[in-house]
Amino acid sequence: MRCFIAVEIPEEIQKKFNPLYEELKLKHLKAINPKDLHITLKFLDEVSEKTAVRVQQELQTISFKPFSVSLKGIECFPNRRNPKVLWVGCDSPGLKSLSQQINELLKKEFKKEDFTAHLTIARIKEKVDLKGFIEKYNSLDFGTFICKSFEVKQSVLLLTGPEYSNLKKFHAV
């Protein structure tokens, strides 16, 4: 099963992306379904069911307090000349700390990753000029929310795009 660890975006924040999505459609970009918006803390890739259960058991040892996450500005990976992923920046020391705890906990079994806090909003399959779009929304504030949980999620790749399901949710203390 294909799995990752993520923070879900609350519905009130998801709604703030609707006007942006109308513009993304005009540019023929593959926008992420608002209900699927999440911030990936760690991508596990393909794992066995046994490994997924073990990871969930290990993650139960993580303790964190609720923290705020601010979503602001638009950028892209790998660069503006050849964009492949359009994302919103996430400002949150709590996200970085949680990601570090997860990486440390799972380091024996999974490669340690550098964490760049971001919220993917679209994937880009063909060459498109997004310079004006990025400049227009670069300082837009999408809001702040309090992160009170994270999830282990399964991703099933379908022709229509990925379908996500929650395997286990972990709550702040």
Q: List active site positions.
A: 38, 118
Amino acid at 114: D
- CA dist., res. 161 & res. 94, Å (int): 30
- CA dist., res. 80 & res. 12, Å (int): 29
- CA dihedral defined by 106, 111, 112, 115, rounded to 10 degrees? -110
Residues forming beta bridges with residue 156, ordered by sequence position: 163
- Phi first, then psi, for residue 150 (nearest 5°) are -140, 165
Residues forming beta bridges with residue 122, ordered by sequence position: 31, 86
List b or e across 37-59, with b for residues whose CB sees 16 or more CB atoms inside 10 angstroms.
bbbbbbebeebeeeebeebbeeb
Which residues lie below 8 Å from residue 15, measured CB to CB, with a gap of 6+? Answer: 34
